[in-house]
Structure formats: C-alpha cells, structure tokens
Amino acid sequence: MENFTPWMSLAGGALLGLSAALLMLFNGKTAGISGVLAGLITPKKNEVSWRIVFLIGMVLSFLLVAPFAVSLPDISGENIFIISLAGLLVGFGTRISNGCTSGHGIIGMGRFSKRSIYATLTFMFVAMVTVFLRGLLGGL
C-alpha cells in the first residue's frame, strides 16, 4: 500500500461520479462498463456512437492524468495465465450479476437499486475475505 494517495483517490472517485452523472444527465444512459461493452457486442440502433466515444474517452483519459504522475500498474513480471484467468472470472461474474462493479457500485448505489446494493455488499465482502486470506497465506 505504499502508493496509496487519498487525494488522488478522492479525485478519481469524484471524476468517476462526475462522468457517470454527465452521461446520465445528457444521454440518459448509465455508465457501467460491462453494459457499455455489451451494447457494442449486440448493438441497437442509435446506441453505438456514444459507446465508442465513452470507450475512447476512457482510454484517452490516461493522457489527461499522466502529468499528475499517475501511471498504469506494471504487470510485466506477472503470470499472464493467472491474469487472463482472473479477467475471465471477472467477466463471468459480471454476466451472472447483471453488471460490473462500476455499474452496481457507482450507478446502482447512486440510484438506490436494491439489486446493486446487494451486489456491492457481496463483492466488497468477498474482496475483504480475499485480502484477509492472502494475508494469512503470506501474500500469495
């Protein structure tokens, strides 16, 4: 946790909330990334362009925060199989829970959705148990 910066975390959270609010305000759409991607895989009429702009904005946002010494995590020394497996499991969990952490945790919680409240409580509990078990096992 040597790189934890409360102010940068607060700024990041505020930007996530602002972007979600702006998308809802101006487009009437929710900003859950799994829903945005799913809408590109099975597109509906007049639903593709804003999703592409959203994803381009996500990618290019790194250029906006780079001057503030924000960098992407270095995973070059990690096991790519484990990382890929983790990504697949996250995708599977996203499908069965009808949304991702951003969709439930930011959008759904902000809308007081019961399903999102339960989903967020579940994934936060599992995350805490995982961190606890990793601590017991020596950080594996």
User: Cα–Cα distance between 1 and 15 in angstroms, integer?
Assistant: 22
SS3 137: coil
* Residues 61-101 pLDDT 10s: 878 877 877 777 777 888 889 889 988 888 888 888 888 88
Q: Which residues make Cβ contacts (< 8 Å) with residue 127, sequence separation at least 6? A: none
* Residues 21-34 pLDDT 10s: 888 888 888 888 88
| Helix boundaries (H) for 28-137 | 33-41, 48-65, 80-96, 101-102, 109-110, 114-136
For the entire predicted model, the pTM comes to 0.69
| Contact (CB, 8 A) for 101 and 124 | no
